[in-house]
């Protein structure tokens, strides 16, 4: 291998840089706390079981979007037999009334910024 | 027996449902879709009665209603304007159809313009992502989630009915209607014939708001519909009929 | 092979540095555009395509013009073009890349551009343009790489490359035809609604592209040991001459049809271009400059003495390139929107940000051409003076 020393040194520097967030957090003793979400009171069930909602709500919303906008299929029957309108602002935010304390807390924690809110208007918790 | 995660949750859900029926009952009242039936048609169309419209000079109620309903921004810079339903002169609305001796009544007065919801829409033909398409009932739809902002549809529309969001429209919306989305910068928009209202059994907002009864909305495929009878009894024109787009907004002159 | 681009003299690196700065400035303004929206350009509700799409259209022509050296060499055995085909193909790669970049910077939602692939739509010409441009890019990458590798090993290129090259000849015509169809199929825009648009695009492409190639050959002759040879250059000059004459002829056809029929919606666009409409005259001086440059270039090109002249030929090539750039890169796209379908005139002029983003993309193209030609000449040991 040509320039083995230089290449290995370069690789080490690269690895150090890439893993900065990990070792920096450890070094600074950063504490990681899972976000506390405010769930709707008096309701236990979402349109899918909680685990599935946690894992796949974005896919569900994409599906809802296409079904409602493109196919005019606006009503969904849930896993437990209820009929729900396929609407982010009306159905989702109808129960999860506080976007800040539900959507945003978790999205901030995992550092994603879904662009839903560029267009859809949250009833409460700011329009950002 | 193996239980995958999905199946496990389903079983768990059933168990929960069995003991929580009263709670779910409360939830039902909250999120259930409303009872009203959607308006169904086979070929939606609009008929604009210009003489009736002109009996209310300076009236902007249809345009105001549309703005409120659909969060249409009021952008002062003419270059970045967004228009769904607006008015312009007869000469601009019907180029090459006037004459120098055009009834001065008509020549000086505005004509309401909006998307023609063409039967053969050129915008739909050119869209590379099917972000705009024609529904079976004739509504030319826009999917703002899918639009990539190439503006080919704007180039293809012979009526200037499409607007692009050159900037973020939010700051230019006076009162936000939370029941309808705004748009993001970089997508194309236009009149949607109030498809969101049709789904709830309501007629378009502009038609409802018109104090003159100048706007008629209905199903042309239904021989009994008022729009069909209007077109059979009075002379109506369409914008640029020679292009073969088959506009579905008719003007009684 | 690519590592050859990493060794060069001081002049090479200074040029790369200059281009990198221009690219950086363009990149910064593009970030601004992503943030603010396309509102930072001069485009408007009425003139909804502008500089970006015009440059795209112009550069599709430059890309297609590689065929003007490839076709004579492979189909008519014009041996003197042997050294040039690779330069044409590499220029095509850079041009197509610029085309694709111009499309991307023109999108309102570039992060969604894969929707064109995810929801393929055969009734949209833009879909087919995406297909032919990417196909042309791949063809030229494969062809130029294969022939350079063969040359390095001192072998003849593998036989399978021949049909690929024949395909690329047809494909080159297709990219500019499909690009013309984007415009020529729109009932809403009478200025573009003309069957001669695709032939016109091809004629202007086959004059401006080879003119650029001549200029590049002359630059290479000045700064490197590469010499295309007088015979090759004069043969390309003949191609430029014919193509430019045909191009001007086609434009005159358009003008005859519009003015003799005197249909207002056809005439108005040409009025806007050459005399102005309702007092709006922004493009008028440019279009007359284009006319004068075209006539000037034809005078120089048709006369055999000036066509071979050491100073007059480059002058003629610059004139051809500038004339067609004004016609296609400025007038053609914008005028389709002036007047708008309601008969109103809204004028367009690019903003500074738009101009710098455009310049940045041209600098990316120049960087690619520099790097590619550097590699090609290094492989042949023709670098240095």
Give B142's strand partners.
B132
Across the interface, which of C108, C187, C340 has its CB nearest the CB of B164? C108
Over residues C3-25, the pLDDT tens digits come to 888 888 899 999 999 999 999 99
For residue A15, what are the CA distances in angstroms to A27, A29, A87?
Answer: 17, 21, 45
Interface contacts (B, C; CB < 8 Å): 143
Of the candidates C203, C306, C304, the one whose C-alpha atom is nearest the C-alpha of residue C247 is: C203
Contact residues for C211 (Cβ-Cβ < 8 A; gap 6+)? C240, C316, C317, C318, C320, C321
Of the candidates C231, C171, C225, the one whose C-alpha atom is nearest the C-alpha of residue C376 is: C225
For residue B18, what are the CA distances in angstroms to A35, A42, A80, C326, C347?
Answer: 30, 16, 10, 75, 68
User: For residues B100 and A27, which has the higher predicted lDDT (pLDDT)?
Assistant: A27
Residue B1: per-residue pLDDT: 36
Over residues C131-164, the pLDDT tens digits come to 999 999 999 999 999 999 998 888 888 999 999 9
Mean pLDDT for B155-178 is 95
Q: Does pLDDT of B16 surpass 50?
A: no
Provide the b/e sequence for B91-117 (b: ≥16 CB within 10 Å).
bbbbbeebeeeeeeebeebbbbbbbbb
Over residues C37-81, the pLDDT tens digits come to 999 999 999 999 999 999 999 999 999 998 999 999 999 999 999
For chain A, say whether B199 makes contact (Cβ under 8 Å): yes
Across the interface, which of A74, A79, A91 has its CB nearest the CB of B10? A79
Over residues C253-310, the pLDDT tens digits come to 999 999 999 999 999 999 999 999 999 999 999 999 999 999 999 999 999 999 998 8
- Residues of chain B with Cβ-Cβ distance to A49 below 8 Å are 9-10, 12-13
Residue B35: per-residue pLDDT: 61
Q: Does pLDDT of A90 surpass 90?
A: no
Q: How many CB atoms lie within 10 A of CB B79?
A: 15
- Please judge whether A45 and B16 are an interchain contact, meaning their C-beta atoms are less than 8 angstroms apart: yes
Mean pLDDT for B131-153 is 96
Over residues C326-379, the pLDDT tens digits come to 999 999 999 999 999 999 999 999 999 999 999 999 999 999 999 999 999 988
Mean pLDDT for A50-58 is 91
Residue B34: per-residue pLDDT: 56
CA distance B163 to chain A (A): 16
Average pLDDT, chain A: 86
pLDDT band at A83 (very low <50, low <70, confident <90, very high): confident
Classify the C-alpha dihedral B99-B104-B105-B109 as positive or negative. positive
CA distance A100 to chain B (A): 16
Tell me if residue B44 falls in helix, strand or coil.
strand
For chain B, say whether A9 makes contact (Cβ under 8 Å): no
pLDDT band at A28 (very low <50, low <70, confident <90, very high): confident
**Ramachandran sector of residue C316 (left: φ over 0; alpha: ψ -120 to 50; beta: rest):** alpha
Residue A98: per-residue pLDDT: 86
Residue with tokens 């609407």: A87
Residue A122: per-residue pLDDT: 82
Over residues C229-260, the pLDDT tens digits come to 999 999 999 999 999 999 999 999 999 999 99
Residue with tokens 């509700």: C45
Domain C2-379 in CATH 1.20.1630.10: yes
Q: How many CB atoms lie within 10 A of CB A82?
A: 17
Average pLDDT, chain C: 95
Q: Does pLDDT of B10 surpass 60?
A: no
For residue C85, what are the CA distances in angstroms to C72, C79, C212, C372?
Answer: 10, 10, 14, 13
Mean pLDDT for A64-81 is 88
- Residues of chain B with Cβ-Cβ distance to A53 below 8 Å are none
- Residues of chain B with Cβ-Cβ distance to A123 below 8 Å are 178
- Please judge whether C49 and B155 are an interchain contact, meaning their C-beta atoms are less than 8 angstroms apart: yes
Interface test with B, best of A62, A70, A92, A125 (most B CBs within 10 A): A70
User: For residue C277, which phi and psi values (nearest 5 degrees)?
Assistant: -130, 130
Any long-range contacts for C290-296 (C-beta under 8 Å, 24+ apart)? Answer: C290/C322, C290/C323, C290/C324, C290/C326, C290/C327, C290/C331, C291/C323, C293/C319, C293/C320, C293/C322, C293/C323, C293/C326, C294/C244, C294/C247, C294/C248, C294/C319, C294/C320, C294/C323
Residue A2: per-residue pLDDT: 82
Structure tokens at B193: 């014939």
Q: Does pLDDT of B5 surpass 80?
A: no
- Please judge whether A123 and B178 are an interchain contact, meaning their C-beta atoms are less than 8 angstroms apart: yes
What's the rounded Cα separation, in Å, for the pair C52 and C358? 7
B9-13, C87-91, C242-246, C266-270: least confident range = B9-13
User: For residues A110 and B48, which has the higher predicted lDDT (pLDDT)?
Assistant: B48
Domain B44-252 in CATH 3.30.70.20: yes
Secondary structure (H, E, C), chain C: CHHHHHCCCHHHHHHHHHHHHHHHHHHHHHHHHHHHCHHHCCCCCCCCCCHHHHHHHHHHHHHHCCHHHHHHHHHHCCHHHCCCHHHHHHHHHHHHHHHHHHHHHHCCCHHHCCHHHHCCCCCCHHHHHHHHHHHHHHHHHHHHHHHHHHHHCCCCCCCCHHHHHHHHHHHHHHHHHHHHHHHHCCCCCCCCCCCCHHHHHHHHHHHHHHHHHHHHHHHHHHHCCCCCCHHHHHHHHHHHHHHHHHHHHHHHHHHHHHHHHCCHHHHHHHHHHHCCECCECCCHHHHHHHHHHHHHHHHHHHCHHHHHCCCHHHHHHHHHHHHHHHHHHHHHHHHCCCCCCCCCCCCCCCCHHHHHHHHHHHHHHHHHHHHHHHHHHHHCCCCCC
What's the rounded Cα separation, in Å, for the pair A113 and A115? 6
ipTM of the complex: 0.93
B131 and A69 Cβ atoms separated by less than 8 Å = no
Of the candidates C332, C316, C359, C82, the one whose C-alpha atom is nearest the C-alpha of residue C212 is: C316
Q: Does pLDDT of B13 surpass 60?
A: no
Q: Does pLDDT of A17 surpass 50?
A: yes
Q: What are the start and end residues of each CATH 3.30.70.20 domain in chain B?
A: 44-252
Interface of B with A in 124-143 (CB under 8 A): 133, 135, 141, 143
């Amino acid at each position: 291998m040509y320039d083995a020393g230089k290449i290995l040194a370069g690789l080490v520097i690269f690895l150090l840089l890439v893993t900065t967030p990990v070792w920096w957090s450890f070094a600074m003793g950063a504490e990681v706390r899972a976000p506390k979400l405010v769930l709707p009171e008096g309701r236990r069930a979402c349109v899918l079981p909680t685990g599935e909602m946690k894992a796949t709500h974005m896919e569900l919303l994409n599906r809802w979007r296409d079904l409602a906008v493109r196919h005019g299929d606006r009503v969904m029957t849930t896993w437990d037999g209820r009929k729900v309108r396929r609407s982010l602002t009306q159905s989702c935010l109808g129960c999860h009334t506080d976007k800040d304390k539900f959507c945003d807390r978790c999205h901030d924690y995992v550092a994603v910024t879904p662009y839903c809110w560029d267009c859809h208007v949250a009833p409460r918790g700011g329009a950002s | 027996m193996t239980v995958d995660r999905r199946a496990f949750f389903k079983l768990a859900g059933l168990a929960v449902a069995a003991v929580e029926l009263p709670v779910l009952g409360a939830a039902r009242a909250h999120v259930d879709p409303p009872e009203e039936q959607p308006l169904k048609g086979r070929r939606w169309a609009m008929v604009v009665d210009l003489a009736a419209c002109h009996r209310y000079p300076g009236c902007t109620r249809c345009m105001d209603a549309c703005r409120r309903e659909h969060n249409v921004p009021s952008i002062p810079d003419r270059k970045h304007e967004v228009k769904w339903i607006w008015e312009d002169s007869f000469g601009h609305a019907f180029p090459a159809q006037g004459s120098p001796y055009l009834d001065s009544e008509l020549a000086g007065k505005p004509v309401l313009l909006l998307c023609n919801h063409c039967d053969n829409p050129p915008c739909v033909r050119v869209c590379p992502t099917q972000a705009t398409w024609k529904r079976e009932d004739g509504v030319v739809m826009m999917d703002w989630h899918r639009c990539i902002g190439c503006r080919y549809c704007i180039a293809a529309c012979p009526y200037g009915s499409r607007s692009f969001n050159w900037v973020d429209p939010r700051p230019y919306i006076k009162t936000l209607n939370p029941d309808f989305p705004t748009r993001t910068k970089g997508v194309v928009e236009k009149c949607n014939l109030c498809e969101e209202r049709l789904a709830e059994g309501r007629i378009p907002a502009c038609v409802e708001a018109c104090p003159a009864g100048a706007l008629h909305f209905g199903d042309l495929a239904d021989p009994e519909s008022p729009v069909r009878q209007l077109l059979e009894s009075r002379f109506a024109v369409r914008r640029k009929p020679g292009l073969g787009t088959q506009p579905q907004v008719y003007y009684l002159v | 092979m690519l590592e050859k681009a990493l060794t060069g003299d001081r002049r090479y690196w200074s040029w790369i540095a200059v281009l990198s700065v221009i690219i950086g400035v363009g990149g910064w303004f593009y970030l601004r555009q992503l943030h603010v929206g396309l509102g930072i350009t001069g485009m408007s509700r009425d003139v909804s395509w502008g500089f970006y799409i015009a440059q795209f259209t112009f550069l599709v022509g430059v890309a297609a013009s590689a065929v003007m050296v490839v076709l004579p060499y492979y189909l008519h055995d014009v041996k003197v073009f042997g050294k040039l085909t690779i330069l044409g193909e590499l220029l095509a790669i850079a041009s197509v890349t610029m085309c694709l970049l111009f499309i991307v910077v023109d999108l309102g939602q570039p992060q969604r551009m894969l929707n064109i692939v995810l929801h393929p739509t055969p009734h949209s010409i833009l879909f087919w343009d995406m297909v032919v441009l990417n196909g042309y890019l791949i063809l030229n990458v494969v062809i130029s790489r294969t022939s350079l590798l063969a040359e390095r090993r001192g072998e003849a290129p593998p036989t399978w490359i021949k049909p690929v090259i024949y395909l690329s000849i047809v494909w080159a015509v297709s990219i500019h035809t499909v690009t013309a169809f984007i415009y020529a199929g729109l009932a809403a825009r009478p200025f573009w609604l003309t069957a001669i648009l695709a032939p016109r695009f091809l004629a202007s492409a086959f004059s401006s592209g080879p003119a650029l190639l001549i200029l590049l050959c002359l630059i290479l002759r000045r700064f490197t040991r590469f010499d295309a040879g007088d015979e090759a250059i004069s043969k390309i000059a003949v191609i430029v001459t014919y193509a430019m004459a045909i191009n001007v002829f086609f434009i005159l056809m358009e003008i005859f049809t519009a003015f003799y029929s005197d249909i207002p919606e056809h005439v108005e666009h040409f009025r806007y271009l050459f005399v102005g409409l309702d007092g709006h005259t922004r493009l008028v001086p440019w279009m007359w400059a284009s006319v004068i440059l075209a006539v000037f270039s034809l005078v120089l090109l048709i006369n055999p003495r000036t066509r071979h002249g050491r100073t007059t030929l480059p002058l003629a090539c610059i004139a051809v390139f500038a004339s067609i750039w004004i016609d296609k890169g400025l007038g053609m796209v914008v005028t389709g929107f002036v007047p708008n379908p309601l008969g109103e005139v809204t004028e367009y002029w690019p903003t500074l940000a738009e101009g710098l983003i455009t310049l940045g993309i041209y600098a990316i193209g120049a960087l690619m051409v520099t790097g590619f030609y550097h590699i090609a000449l290094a492989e042949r040991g023709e670098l240095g003076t």
